[in-house]
Amino acid sequence: MGQAGCGGLCLSLFDYKTEKYVIAKNKKVGLLYRLLQASILAYLVVWVFLIKKGYQDVDASLQSAVITKVKGVAFTNTSDLGERLWDVADYVIPPQGENVFFVVTNLIVTPNQRQNVCAENEDIPDGACSEDSDCHPGEAVTAGNGVKTGRCLWRENSTRGTCEIFAWCPLETRSRPAEPFLKEAEDFTIFIKNYIRFPKFNFSKSNVIDAKDRASLKSCRFGPKNHYCPIFRMGSVIRWAGSDFQDIALEGGVIGINIEWNCDLDKAASECHPHYSFSRLDNKLSKSVSSGYNFRFAKYYRDAAGVEFRTLIKAYGIRFDVMVNGKAGKFSIIPTVINLGSGVALMGARAFWGYTPCQWSPGSSHSSGASACSSAAVGGFGSVPNQGMAGMSPGSRMSPRASKVSISTSAKRGQC
């Protein structure tokens, strides 16, 4: 018995199997089959290859460097500072020209501060006192401006005292101006130079066009009719981000400048262009005490006697974040073959779904009645015993792919 089983297994190695073809003489089934065929073909051609460019190898590891320059001047005349001209060295922080920079548009100036003793601000809770014992000497005032000296100072018509502190006096007491200090900042210009490289394809480019005339580059401005000029008017950038310049200049904010590179390297390098978009990154609808963007810095100097002074500046302004992203694609045989193979696999699945209505239609082995597939044939090469010839129905016919094969009606049910 074991020898017979082994012999049958060995003989089965020389068996040749052919496909089974079913011809569905039904318009609905045929229409479904062709619709599936057309849908898969349209998906493969339109979506995979034309829209998604499935024939390309993609490099999304973009390497980028950003250099920025701001230009413009503003003139102010105040009681604290007098007449003063502000240039880029005064209002741009940091001055190196990086992808993140800050432009001062409003400020509070406290001049001539020196280290001395004075009363803490009344709005600091930890600085309140009723007697000297409330002010512990050497203790820093929480969220305050200096260190307590041990004395409690009382002001006229005041219901409580404040601790004396050792600090930079006089303290900053003024509120934010009602109008932007540097109104002319709206007309300042921002020059953005962006270098990008896709390492997989060794492709490099810049957003600055190769202009032989430097004057034409300096005079251009980015706009709807000039997308390839890298010089932006600050007021226009704020407007494109959906904000009003006077509002954001008053208390500050954060603006994002996004540069996107989507390059088809199957085309000429001159067809690879940057696309710019602008957005407000901070929550402009939030009107809390912490809204806006500001920080403090100081400028130090000494008088003739060698005493150190400083001018404290609380700066409100606009922070610009230049962000770069993108990808590049180029023809490659590997993704092309992979996507073509996926399409061929889907075409094979199409045949299965097209045959399913025949299996589950009335008249099949799963039900009774008239069959949706009026005839069937087995295709391939080889011979079938003639014992099933008597069982063939008069309406059945041979498949064009069949070669001298006899079929019985039981072939429709998968029987041999």
* HEC sequence for the chain: CHHHHHHHHHHHCCCCCCCCECCCCCHHHHHHHHHHHHHHHHHHHHHHHHHCCCCEEEECCCEEEEEEEEECCEEEEECCCEEEEECHHHHEECCCCCCEEEEEEEEEEEEEEEEEEEECCCCCHHHEECCHHHCCCCCECCCCCCEEEEEEECCCCCCCEEEEEEEEECCCCCCCCCCCCCHHHHHCEEEEEEEEEECCCCEEEECCCCCCCHHHHHHCCCECCECCCCEEEHHHHHHHCCCCHHHHHHHCEEEEEEEEEEEECCCCHHHCCEEEEEEECCCCCCCCCCCCCEEEEEEEEECCCCCEEEEEEEEEEEEEEEEEEEEEEEECHHHHHHHHHHHHHHHHHHHHHHHHHHHHCCCCCCCCCCCCCCCCECCECCCCCHHHHHHCCCCCCCCCCECCCCCCHHHHHCCC
Same domain for 393 and 373, yes or no, is: yes
The CATH number linked to 71 is 2.60.490.10
Q: Within a domain: residue 164?
A: no
Residue with tokens 């300042």: 188
Any idea what the Cα angle at residue 114 is, between residues 78 and 177, rounded to 5°? 30
Same domain for 339 and 326, yes or no, is: no
Q: Within a domain: residue 219?
A: yes
Same domain for 356 and 269, yes or no, is: no
- Is 405 annotated for ligand binding? no
Task: Give CA–CA dist 112/117, Å, rounded.
Answer: 14
> Cβ of 412: how many Cβ atoms within 10 Å?
23
Same domain for 178 and 280, yes or no, is: yes
Same domain for 398 and 293, yes or no, is: no
pLDDT the model gives residue 22 = 67
- Is 70 annotated for ligand binding? yes
- Is 404 annotated for ligand binding? no
Same domain for 46 and 30, yes or no, is: yes
Task: Return the closest-CA partner of residue 103 out of 124, 122, 88, 125.
Answer: 88
Q: Within a domain: residue 154?
A: no
Domain that holds residue 269: 63-120+171-330
Same domain for 305 and 182, yes or no, is: yes
Same domain for 275 and 176, yes or no, is: yes
pLDDT the model gives residue 277 = 96
Kindly give, in sequence order, each residue whose CB lies less than 8 Å from that of residue 390, ignoring residues fewer than 6 positions away: 408
Kindly give, in sequence order, each residue whose CB lies less than 8 Å from that of residue 151, ignoring residues fewer than 6 positions away: 132, 135, 163, 164
Same domain for 263 and 178, yes or no, is: yes
- Is 18 annotated for ligand binding? no
pLDDT the model gives residue 387 = 41
- Is 205 annotated for ligand binding? no
Same domain for 202 and 240, yes or no, is: yes
Instruction: Give me the tens of pLDDT residue by residue for the chain, a chain 416 residues long.
Output: 556 667 677 777 777 777 666 676 778 777 887 888 888 888 888 888 888 888 889 999 999 999 999 999 999 988 877 899 999 999 999 888 889 999 999 999 999 999 999 999 988 999 999 999 999 999 999 999 999 999 999 988 788 899 999 999 999 977 888 889 999 999 999 999 999 999 999 999 999 877 666 777 888 899 887 888 999 999 999 999 999 999 999 999 999 999 999 999 999 988 999 999 999 999 776 666 667 899 999 999 999 999 999 999 999 999 999 999 999 999 989 988 888 888 778 777 656 665 565 655 554 444 444 455 544 444 444 444 444 433 444 444 444 444 433 333 444 444 43
- Is 314 annotated for ligand binding? yes
pLDDT the model gives residue 411 = 40
Last residue of a domain, one of 294, 313, 330: 330
Burial of residue 105 (CB within 10 Å: 0-12, 13-18, 19+) is buried
Last residue of a domain, one of 330, 356, 371: 330
Q: Give the rounded distance of the alpha carbon of 284 from its chain centre.
A: 20
> Cβ of 256: how many Cβ atoms within 10 Å?
16
Same domain for 38 and 80, yes or no, is: no
Same domain for 188 and 251, yes or no, is: yes
- Is 294 annotated for ligand binding? yes
Residue with tokens 């045929």: 30
- Is 102 annotated for ligand binding? no
Last residue of a domain, one of 302, 330, 358: 330
For the chain, the domain total comes to 2
